[in-house]
Each structure stands twice: as structure tokens, then as C-alpha cells.
């Protein structure tokens, strides 16, 4: 993205409600405009996350998803309509961003992120928000984030529960996502929402919360809101409803972040 030291005048009105917040301000909004976020998964989490990241003025967004829109997605994947059924999710999401705010840079990649291609796909990103639906992909993303020193916001949801956490395993005293889940989940054998069900609004809660945490990371050091809360996992309970927070310890034997720093 082209370097800029201030927001263009025509953008000030669009983001006025951010700029008047002392915790964001003009400096924070400019930081958002300079940020490149890689968003993994355009499903129940990625849809609302993208809508609020685009609304926040994230200047460059890369979208990754290998799936196509199905009718059963419409219950929770708020980007899509009946007319999108059969389309690549990444491409449909890209079209949505271009309609919503033509000033944003957006590109889509209709492919699955793997351990083999993650480094290439993450190149140039300032931050990754992962809302995919399987552990193998999540761990591939996390491992690559550590290797490339890119912060990771991870958001997940199932039935009436969600979890959102920020990870910076490339920092000496911070855990990575693998410190949290371990090595047992590299296989693709996790449950799916097709089997277990999911409340659509629950996916929205996790997705928008993930977007908020990504904004925290993006403005770190440039606005008061920028507390990335590294290693804190927020557990969302839609049945009570309620939320609690737990801290993830760095695993000294973690094969990803401990070996990367050894």
C-alpha cells in the first residue's frame, strides 16, 4: 500500500465515529488504513469479521477460502445471499468488499492454506485472523505465523460456544496457538457444524469479537485501544450467556515457538 501520513479528506467523514474516540483517534485510524490483514476462512466467523474489518477501514485485506457457497451457509454466513450459491466464497467476499468500500485493497485466493503454502500466502501480512473450521489448517497457519513473526488472532465457534485469542509466539515470553492445543490436532478429524449444529448468532458473536481483537493488535503502540492481550483466550458461552478469560502458558517444549526461539 502506498505510504501516507494522514487520511485523505474524503475518508474523514466515513471514519468520524472512530476518530472522535480518544482510544482510537486519527492516529489509530491511520494505523488501520495502513494495516494488511490476512483473513483465513470466509464462513460463519469470517463473514462478520470481514464486514467489521472493512467497516473499520483496514486498508488491505487478503481473503482465503477454498469452499463454495451452499444454501445451508446462509443461516450464519452473513456476506452471502441466495444469488451467491455455487460461487467461490473468497471471490464473493471480495466482490462484497469492493461494493462496500472501493477504496480498500482486497484480493481473494480460492485455495486452502496448508503447511506447504502458508509461508507464501502470509507474505506481507501484518496480522492474521483465522476463522477456519479445522485444526490442521489452524496449526499450519499458527506455525507459519511464528516462523514469519506475524501476530495471530484465532477465533472458533461451535454450537453455543466460542473462543477468541491473540497469539504472538514469535515473542520470547508469549505462547503460540500450538501451546494451547498441542500436537494431537494436526489430523483433520475434528467435528463439524453440519454434525453438531450451530446457532448463527453465536458465529456472529465470535466473528465480531475476533474483528475487535484484530483491531486491538493493528493499533498497538499507536492508540490507547491497542492492548493485544497476547496469550489471553476469551471463552464465549451463548447459553448462559457469559464470557470468561483464561491465560495460555507458553509451553517450553512446544515444537513451534520454543524451537523457533532456541
Instruction: Note the helical H segments in the chain.
Output: 9-12, 16-19, 25-33, 46-55, 89-100, 118-122, 135-148, 177-181, 193-196, 200-218, 257-260
- Separation CA 205–CA 250 (nearest Å): 27
- Separation CA 43–CA 193 (nearest Å): 11
- Is the pLDDT at 139 greater than 80? The verdict is yes
- Tell me the per-residue pLDDT of 145-175, one tens digit each, with 9 for 90 and over: 999 999 999 999 999 999 999 999 999 999 9
Cross-strand bridge partners of residue 246: 233
Question: Residue range 5-15: average pLDDT?
Answer: 91
How does residue 260 score in pLDDT terms, banded at 50, 70 and 90? low
- Tell me the per-residue pLDDT of 74-97, one tens digit each, with 9 for 90 and over: 999 999 999 999 999 999 999 999
pLDDT of residue 193: 59
Residue 90 phi, psi (nearest 5): -60, -45
Query: pTM score, two decimals?
Result: 0.93
**Cβ atoms 37, 126 nearer than 8 A:** yes
How does residue 196 score in pLDDT terms, banded at 50, 70 and 90? confident
CB atoms within 10 A of CB 187: 11
Q: Is the bond leading into 256 cis (omega within 30 degrees of zero)?
A: no
Amino acid at each position: 500500500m502506498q505510504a501516507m501520513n494522514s487520511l485523505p479528506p474524503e475518508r474523514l467523514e466515513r471514519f468520524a465515529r472512530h476518530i472522535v474516540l480518544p482510544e482510537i483517534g486519527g492516529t489509530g485510524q491511520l494505523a488501520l488504513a495502513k494495516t494488511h490483514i490476512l483473513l483465513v476462512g470466509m464462513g460463519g466467523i469470517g463473514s462478520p469479521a470481514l464486514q467489521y474489518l472493512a467497516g473499520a477501514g483496514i486498508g488491505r485485506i487478503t481473503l482465503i477460502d477454498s469452499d463454495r457457497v451452499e444454501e445451508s451457509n446462509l443461516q450464519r454466513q452473513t456476506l452471502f445471499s441466495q444469488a451467491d450459491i455455487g460461487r467461490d466464497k473468497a471471490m464473493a467476499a471480495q466482490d462484497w468488499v469492493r461494493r462496500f468500500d472501493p477504496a480498500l485493497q482486497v484480493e481473494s485466493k480460492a485455495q486452502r492454506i496448508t503447511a506447504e503454502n502458508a509461508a507464501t500466502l502470509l507474505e506481507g501480512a501484518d496480522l492474521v485472523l483465522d476463522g477456519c473450521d479445522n485444526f490442521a489448517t489452524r496449526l499450519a497457519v499458527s506455525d507459519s505465523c511464528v516462523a514469519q513473526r506475524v501476530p495471530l488472532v484465532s477465533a472458533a465457534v461451535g454450537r453455543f460456544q466460542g473462543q477468541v485469542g491473540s497469539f504472538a509466539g514469535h515473542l520470547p515470553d508469549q505462547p503460540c496457538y500450538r501451546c494451547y492445543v498441542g500436537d494431537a490436532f494436526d489430523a483433520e478429524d475434528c467435528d463439524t457444524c453440519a454434525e453438531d449444529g450451530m446457532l448463527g448468532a453465536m458465529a456472529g458473536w465470535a466473528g465480531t469479537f475476533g474483528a475487535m481483537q484484530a483491531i486491538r493488535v493493528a493499533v498497538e503502540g499507536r492508540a490507547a485501544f491497542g492492548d493485544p492481550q497476547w496469550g489471553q483466550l476469551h471463552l464465549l458461552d451463548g447459553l448462559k450467556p457469559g464470557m470468561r478469560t483464561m491465560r495460555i502458558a507458553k509451553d517450553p517444549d512446544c515444537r513451534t515457538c520454543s524451537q523457533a526461539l532456541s
